[in-house]
């Protein structure tokens, strides 16, 4: 790499100041993930000037980049910028705050080879709880924070003198790191649940006076299924739940039925149209943004809740204020055959979801703290092609924040049928799954998880009769996991076995590809 390619095209401190400054510090470990996320943002916003001090990481392809800058020059770039993004190093965070910024911070992850241990993850968690940074863990969340900072700069500014000098702030940060690196992850989670500022705020938002039950909003996206929708709404109204349940029916690319709306009693129903990106993601977000309760649940318009589903989940939310999301098991109904899909565990981690989709965690089982999305990891991604697997991607983001709780009992009857929205939409499925692999490079570190998604892509390509693409993805699947069954199912389709026939056999057993 030549000196010319790594020198920034716009030097800070001149007449052309950067709008966004990203500083990765001087650590010898590469932090290519943050460089890649920044490049993605720079491509989306060509009107902005983005400068990346990338240290030992790869140079950006779209943004301006320089390996290192003298301390004062970097501070001057930060002072002139509208937004400052940093890695989780205490020195860099302190420098950004001294320049008057509430920095957006992405911690290095040791599991991705970005550091030797998890002290940045622990440190950033603590300083975020203290309100000294805005932490994020996904590209979508990073981009959203940058957009917010550009739109409302006063929310991302601090008094440079409030830290009593950079030396004292750096000393305090070092003390925190020494303390945190000796704590176990379990102790950190317990501490966050028992005494963190976030936990205290969540407790206040969820608990209601005199032990009453919190109100819940249920978001039901719908399109052209009026009879199934009415059955879904009836099951929500008949919940054995002591609190108020508001249902928001979101019509997506369909004429709304105003006759469904009513306001009387403690089970009101609102009818709205999708005002965001067409598709499931936009419809879900329309409902979430329109909700006025802390707890939000999802239910598809062809599924039905069992009577005690909501009560069992809210009981966990009330007992565990640090929990952002609760799911439960499902009863799958296909062609009059019913089977149960239940996880025999009460907690699901990010690592679990990389290994397996865990189909039991169906979107119609989701109960989520609204603040975990709005002020946390972000709403449902509207960037996923066709909104396919938007529920899985949301699970990944929420699980990065904290483990997802699960009720190991069925709470929802899920109807699988030929009128399902994604039935035989093979191109959409393949494109969305490839998008998921690009956005989550962690799959490359988990051969089983990568092979699972690669096998699904291979099956979709085979079903779409794109034989060459199918064979390529079959090869990728087998290289990562020779025993991955989806590769052999895809090979059967390539050889002429109808994809619909294979899917029918799987669905009769409560399974899918």
Mean pLDDT of the chain: 84
| Strand-pair partners of 410 | 329
- Mind listing the pLDDT tens digit for each residue in 241-300? 999 999 999 999 889 999 999 988 899 999 999 999 998 999 999 999 999 999 999 999
Q: Is residue 413 scored above 90 in pLDDT?
A: yes
For residues 218 and 297, the answer to whether their CB atoms sit within 8 Å is yes
> Which residue, 98, 127, 122, is CA-closest to 178?
122
Q: What is the residue extent of each domain of the chain? A: 3-183, 209-416, 426-508
Q: What is the pLDDT of residue 174?
A: 45
Q: Which CATH number fits domain 3-183: 3.40.50.2000, 3.40.50.620, 3.20.20.300, 1.10.10.60?
A: 3.40.50.2000
Torsion angle of the four alpha carbons 220, 222, 227, 232, in this order, in degrees rounded to the nearest 10: -10
Query: Stretch 315-339: mean pLDDT, rounded?
Result: 90
Beta strand spans in 41-169 (E)? 50-53, 64-66, 83-87, 104-106, 134-135
7 token code pair: 């020198």
Report the predicted TM-score, pTM, of the whole model to 2 decimal places: 0.59
Q: Is residue 239 scored above 60 in pLDDT?
A: yes
**Among 110-124, 268-282, 340-354, 490-504, the least confident range:** 110-124
For residues 505 and 416, the answer to whether their CB atoms sit within 8 Å is no
For residues 326 and 291, the answer to whether their CB atoms sit within 8 Å is no
Query: pLDDT category, 510, cuts 50, 70, 90?
Result: low
Give the separation between CA 350 and CA 397, rounded to whole angstroms.
8
Contacts for 449-452: CB closer than 8 Å, 24+ residues apart:
449/354, 449/355, 449/356, 450/480, 450/481, 451/476, 451/477, 451/478, 451/480, 451/481, 451/484, 451/486, 451/487, 452/355, 452/356, 452/357, 452/481, 452/484, 452/486
- Mind listing the pLDDT tens digit for each residue in 191-223? 333 333 333 333 333 444 435 899 999 999 999
**139: exposed, middle or buried (C-beta count within 10 Å: 0-12, 13-18, 19+)?**
buried
> Which residue, 127, 304, 180, is CA-closest to 233?
304
Q: Is residue 380 scored above 90 in pLDDT?
A: yes
Query: pLDDT category, 367, cuts 50, 70, 90?
Result: very high
Q: What is the pLDDT of residue 348?
A: 95
The residue with tokens 């979508």 is 140
**Level-2 CATH architecture, domain 209-416:** Alpha-Beta Complex (3.90)
Q: What is the pLDDT of residue 89?
A: 87
Percent of residues, the chain, with pLDDT higher than 90: 61
Q: Which is more confidently placed, 118 or 292?
A: 292
Query: Stretch 71-91: mean pLDDT, rounded?
Result: 91
Q: Is residue 318 scored above 80 in pLDDT?
A: yes
> Which residue, 220, 263, 266, is CA-closest to 244?
266
For residues 170 and 90, the answer to whether their CB atoms sit within 8 Å is yes
Give the separation between CA 512 and CA 356, rounded to whole angstroms.
13
**Among 24-33, 372-381, 428-437, the least confident range:** 24-33
Q: What is the pLDDT of residue 68?
A: 85
- Mind listing the pLDDT tens digit for each residue in 451-473? 999 999 999 999 999 999 999 99
């Amino acid at each position: 790499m030549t000196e010319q390619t790594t020198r920034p095209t716009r030097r800070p401190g001149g007449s052309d100041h950067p709008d966004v400054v990203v500083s990765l510090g001087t650590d010898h470990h590469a932090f290519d993930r943050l460089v890649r996320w920044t490049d993605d943002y720079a491509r989306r916003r060509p009107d902005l000037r983005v400068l990346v001090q990338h240290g030992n990481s790869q140079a950006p392809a779209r943004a301006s980049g320089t390996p290192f800058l003298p301390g004062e020059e970097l501070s001057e770039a930060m002072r002139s910028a509208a937004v400052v993004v940093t890695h989780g190093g205490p020195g860099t965070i302190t420098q950004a705050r001294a320049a008057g910024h509430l920095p957006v911070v992405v911690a290095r992850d040791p599991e991705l080879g970005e550091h030797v241990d998890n002290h940045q993850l622990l440190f950033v968690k603590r300083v975020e709880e203290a309100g000294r940074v805005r932490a994020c863990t996904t590209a979508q969340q990073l981009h959203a924070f940058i957009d917010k900072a550009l739109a409302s700069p006063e929310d991302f500014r601090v008094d440079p003198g409030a830290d009593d000098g950079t030396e004292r702030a750096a000393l305090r940060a070092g003390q925190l790191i020494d303390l945190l690196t000796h704590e176990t992850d379990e102790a950190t989670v317990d501490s966050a649940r028992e005494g963190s500022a976030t936990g205290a705020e969540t407790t206040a938002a969820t608990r209601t006076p005199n032990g009453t039950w919190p109100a819940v909003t249920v978001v039901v996206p719908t399109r052209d299924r009026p009879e199934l929708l009415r059955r879904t709404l009836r099951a929500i109204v008949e919940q054995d739940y002591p609190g108020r349940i508001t249902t928001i029916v979101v019509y997506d690319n369909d004429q709304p039925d105003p006759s469904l709306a009513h306001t009387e009693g403690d089970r009101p129903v609102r009818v709205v149209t999708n005002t965001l990106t067409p598709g499931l993601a936009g419809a879900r977000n329309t409902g979430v943004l329109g909700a006025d309760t802390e707890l939000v649940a999802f239910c598809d318009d062809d599924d039905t809740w069992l009577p005690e589903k909501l009560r069992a989940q809210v009981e966990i939310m009330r007992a565990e204020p640090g929990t952002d999301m609760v799911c439960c098991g499902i009863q799958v109904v296909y062609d009059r055959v019913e089977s149960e899909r239940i996880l025999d565990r009460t907690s699901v981690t990010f690592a679990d979801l990389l290994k397996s989709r865990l189909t039991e965690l169906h979107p119609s089982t989701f109960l989520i703290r609204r603040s975990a999305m709005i002020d946390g990891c972000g709403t449902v991604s509207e960037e996923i092609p066709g909104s396919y697997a938007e529920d899985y991607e949301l699970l990944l983001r929420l699980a990065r924040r904290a483990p997802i709780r699960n009720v190991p009992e069925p709470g929802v009857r899920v109807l699988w049928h030929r009128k399902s929205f994604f039935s035989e939409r093979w191109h959409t499925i393949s494109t969305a799954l490839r998008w998921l692999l690009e956005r989550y490079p962690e799959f490359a570190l988990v051969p089983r998880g990568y092979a699972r998604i690669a096998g699904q892509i291979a099956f979709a390509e085979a079903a779409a009769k794109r034989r060459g693409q199918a064979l390529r993805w079959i090869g990728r699947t087998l290289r990562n996991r020779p025993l991955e069954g989806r590769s052999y199912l895809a090979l059967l389709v390539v050889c002429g076995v109808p994809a619909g026939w294979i899917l029918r056999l799987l669905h009769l057993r409560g399974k899918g590809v």
